[in-house]
Amino acid sequence: MRFVLPKGRLFRDSIEILKKAGIELKSPENRELIVRNGRYELLLARSFDVPVYVEHGVDIGIAGSDVVEERRSDVLIPLELPFGKCRLSLAMLGENLVSVEEMDGFRIATKYPSLARRFFESKGVEVEVIKLHGSIELAPKIGIADAIVDIVETGNTLRANGLVEVEKIMDVSALLLVNRISQKTQFKEINELVLKIKGVIKDGS
C-alpha cells in the first residue's frame, strides 16, 4: 500500500496517527523521497501536490482541506483528522482597513488563487489575483498587493507584519484522502485502516 504525505507542518502528526493505527512508515533520510517498509511505501511530496498524487493513483494521502479545495481533487475523503487546524483568511494592513465589498480592483496576493477567486466571485467583487509560493505577508508590506488570502494559525505572522484579518474564508483541517480505485480494489484493507484511525481519534478526544 502506498502513502503520500506532505513534507511540511503536517508530516510529524501524520506519521504519528498512522503509527497509532498500526501503520509503521519509515521516515526518510538523506533527501530520500520514497521509503519502503515491508508492504508499505511512503512518498514525500509538497503539500499542494499530495491530493494530485492521490487522484492519480497513490492509495492514501494526508493533506490540508485548504489544498484539497484549492486543487479540487477528485479523491475520497473518509475522515477529517484532529490536527492541522487553522483557517484561510483575507487580511490587509491595519492602517488602511476596508470591507470586502470595498475591494473592487484590489490586487490580492495568495498561494490559493482558485479559492481567492471563488471567494471574491461569491461576493460579486472583482479583484486581480497574484499567485505567490510563500511569505505572502511580504506582498502588502512592500506594496505589490492590497490584501492577502493566506493561512492563519496563531496569527503571529499577521501581527508581526502589521496585518489584520478582514474575513475568514474557510476553516482548515488535515484530511485523510483515498484514491477512488484503491477504495474498490483494496476495500477491506482501507476500511480497516479508516476504522483504526477513527478509534485513535476517539481515544485521543
Binding residues for ligand PRP (CB under 6 A): 134-137, 150-157
d(CA 13, CA 123): 36
- Least separation in angstroms between CB 131 and ligand PRP: 13
Burial track 63-78 (b if 16+ CB lie within 10 A, e otherwise): bbbbbbbbbebebbeb
Coil, helix or strand at residue 123: helix
Query: Which residues make Cβ contacts (< 8 Å) with residue 29, sequence separation at least 6?
Result: none
- Least separation in angstroms between CB 45 and ligand PRP: 15
Q: Of the two residues 77 and 151, which places its CB atom closer to ligand PRP in the complex?
A: 151
Q: Which residue, judged by CB position, is nearest to ligand PRP in the bound state?
A: 134
Q: Of the two residues 19 and 46, which places its CB atom closer to ligand PRP in the complex?
A: 46
Q: Of the two residues 17 and 109, which places its CB atom closer to ligand PRP in the complex?
A: 109
Cβ-based burial of 113 (10 A; exposed 0-12, middle 13-18, buried ≥19)? middle
- Least separation in angstroms between CB 196 and ligand PRP: 29
- Least separation in angstroms between CB 158 and ligand PRP: 6
- Least separation in angstroms between CB 39 and ligand PRP: 32
Sheet holding 60-64, edge to edge: 34-37, 40-45, 2-6, 60-64, 174-178, 76-80
Q: Of the two residues 128 and 153, which places its CB atom closer to ligand PRP in the complex?
A: 153
Q: Of the two residues 140 and 194, which places its CB atom closer to ligand PRP in the complex?
A: 140
